[in-house]
Structure 1
Amino acid sequence: MIKKLFNMFIFLLLSIFLAACGANNTAEKADDNATEGKLIIYTTVFPLLDFTKKIGGDDVLVKSVYPTGADAHSFEPTPKDMTDIAEADAFIYTGVGVEGFVTTALETLKNEKVVPVEAGNGIEYVSVDDHEHRDDEQGDHDHDGIDPHIWLDPIHSITLAENIKNALVELNPDSKEMYETNFQTLKKQLVSLDNEMKQTVNSANKNEILVAHAAYGYWETRYGIRQISITGFSPSDEPSQKELKKIIETAEEHNLKYIIFEQNIPSKIAETVQKETKTESLTLHNLEAVTDKEMEKNEDYFTLMKKNLGTLKKALN
């Protein structure tokens, strides 16, 4: 009897093991079927992910190297991330410097099959010296580079999208017509967003915004929105006490009622300024990365930028 029970137990274990193996094999086959014939693309910041999906359609499987809610300035890929990118068809990045890991990654990937795509190629960048609204004696760390937030400008986003489209055509010429059609649809949406931005600023009572993070230099170049920033391009760039005093005085001088934070960047310094100036808080989305909740709600570049427009309308009036 005991031997019989033991044999039954062994049989059950084998059945469970084989069922699990079968399930794994089925899942692997399903994954293979889902990717068969598709371009595998890895991207960095969220707009590149979104634009690639919109242009590539069913021909592409697009993944972000960033986990949801990541800080693009400080993210570092794992060895597995690098292996996955190396095995992909293309790796799309901005080339503007926001992705600190890219220079090293490109060196590592240079002998792999993956095609690197610099989506920001051809864009005229804004430097900190073009739009400096903090104290003249601030540290050198804010003068080292360019403003990386090119995707917040809808017209620059057309260039990002066109470079992505051209890369997809190179990888899969048979789908050129579809990629071109999808790109033209996306371009019309971006032109429409640009017009909304212009209308918002042209009808506003003021043109200054007080922000926690200097991410909006391209809005000044394109639309004349003057940003008074508490930190530099990177959220880790902190102002001196003298700079903080100057920012508070400027906010009071211009009668600014709001301080604008970003969705994924807490700032105790900005909270200090908010208390000192008795301003209310608003939120702008920097679109560097999205959260799980935003993914579940199918938020895209345009829904997030429309919310930013709503914030701007309130802050400028």
Structure 2
Amino acid sequence: MKRWMRKLAGIGLGLSLLLAVGCSDQEKLEVGKTVPEGEKLIVYTTLQAQADFVRAIGGDQVEVETLMPLGPNVWQWAPTVKEMRDIERAHVMVLNGGGMEDRWWSQTYATVKIKNKELLVLDASQGIEPLGLLHYNNRDASEDDKVKKRNDPWFYLDPQLAKQEVETIAAALAKKAPAQAELFQKNAEAYKQKLDQLDQKYADTFSKAKRKEIVSPYPAFQYLAKRYGLNYYVPTTIAINEFPQDKPDQIQALKDDFAKHDASVIFFEGEAAPRVQEFLESIGYQTKELNTYEGKLSQEGYKSYLQVMEENLVVLQAGLNQ
């Protein structure tokens, strides 16, 4: 009985902390014991994007790890027991926010907090106004998932919202490691200038684009499209994990749906299955791949957020001008 009471108390504490970090007021962060000068700040993040922001801000004064591996669906992944144990050594845990971690964070935090009472938990998206997640056709989703309303959690794919996340992360790291506060703020300012340059490239490219609509079976680029005045359409007539050829009675409805939109290229998150590509090519479309920069990258295959966003821009420019 006592164990369950402790467990429920831990979960309640985790939820109350999430509410606190969801506020725009950085003073409400429970910083706990600060990291002394000369000691590296250990940071864990859910996604690779925020890990790259931490790396840009902290340089060699931080040790940062991403939890989510490459490949899994963000809504279906959860950390393993080993990964929960790993977080016990962290000074800071940076959540993506937007509901992405809702399924597993409370229980994870209740476990981690038993041995790591000084952990600072930060929602990187705090202060950002979320958009509703665009519904998409996912055959593997449960019935509850199909009707559940979610927020769109891919804030960071908009360079200006990424800039806001950098400001939030830098302020939190400075509070946890005050001896490095000046360095963190200096690095953050330099990085924000690079994000402004990236933003300008996107704005210039899209202002000259032949087409003003992104069509994709994945809902991840809504914030980016909104930033630059593009329409963003997620078709419900094609699933991300099934083949149109297997449902011949639905092919005409799919064609009619796609024909209503200003697209000659369909953008996928990750590589589209060959049969999906073949089908789309058979009805006159091409497919291209965009990178949502979610899962952990190996040291050998590492690409920064700025590199990935530059590559995405090249892909989008080509696709919107065909």
| TM-score normalised by length of structure 2 | 0.74
Query: Alpha-carbon deviations, 1:116-159, whole Å to 9, x = none?
Result: 1111100111114xx6799xxxx983660111111100111111
Instruction: Report what 2:268 is aligned to.
Output: 261
The range that moved more, 73-82 or 40-49, is 73-82
- Distance change in 2, residues 1:237/1:160 (3 Å): farther
More helix by share: 1
SS across alignment from 2:234: strand
Query: Alpha-carbon deviations, 1:194-225, whole Å to 9, x = none?
Result: 11111111101111122121111112321122
Instruction: Report what 2:290 is aligned to.
Output: 284
| Structure 2 CA distance for aligned equivalents of residues 61 and 183 of structure 1 | 16
Deviation of 1:309 (Å): 0.3
Contact kept? 1:154, 1:193, Cα under 8 Å: yes
Instruction: Report what 2:99 is aligned to.
Output: 97
Instruction: Report what 1:49 is aligned to.
Output: 51
- Distance change in 2, residues 1:244/1:61 (3 Å): farther
Contact kept? 2:265, 2:285, Cα under 8 Å: yes
Query: Alpha-carbon deviations, 1:251-280, whole Å to 9, x = none?
Result: 2244522111122x6558954761453211
Contact kept? 1:44, 1:93, Cα under 8 Å: yes
| Structure 1 CA distance for aligned equivalents of residues 251 and 119 of structure 2 | 46
SS across alignment from 1:213: coil
| Structure 1 CA distance for aligned equivalents of residues 243 and 39 of structure 2 | 48
| Structure 1 CA distance for aligned equivalents of residues 59 and 205 of structure 2 | 32
| Structure 2 CA distance for aligned equivalents of residues 218 and 273 of structure 1 | 29
1:77 paired to 2:79: yes
SS across alignment from 1:40: strand
Instruction: Report what 2:30 is aligned to.
Output: none
- Distance change in 2, residues 1:214/1:183 (3 Å): same
Q: Which amino acid aligns with 1:223?
A: Y
Q: How does 1:5-154 map to 2 (within 5 A)?
A: 37-99=39-101, 100-111=103-114, 112=116, 113-128=118-133, 141=146, 144-154=149-159
SS across alignment from 1:147: coil
1:298 paired to 2:299: no
- Note the residue ranges of structure 1 that are not aligned, 5 or more in a row: 1-35
Deviation of 1:296 (Å): 1.4
- Note the residue ranges of structure 2 that are not aligned, 5 or more in a row: 1-37, 138-143
Instruction: Report what 2:194 is aligned to.
Output: 189
| Structure 2 CA distance for aligned equivalents of residues 174 and 120 of structure 1 | 25
Query: Alpha-carbon deviations, 1:178-202, whole Å to 9, x = none?
Result: 0000000111111111111111111
Q: 1:179 aligns with which of 179, 184, 193?
A: 184
| Structure 2 CA distance for aligned equivalents of residues 145 and 236 of structure 1 | 20
Max Rg structure: 1
Size of the alignment, in residue pairs? 272
Instruction: Report what 1:209 is aligned to.
Output: 214
Q: Which amino acid aligns with 2:69?
A: P
Q: Which amino acid aligns with 1:76?
A: A
Percentage of pairs with the same residue: 27
Q: Which amino acid aligns with 1:288?
A: E
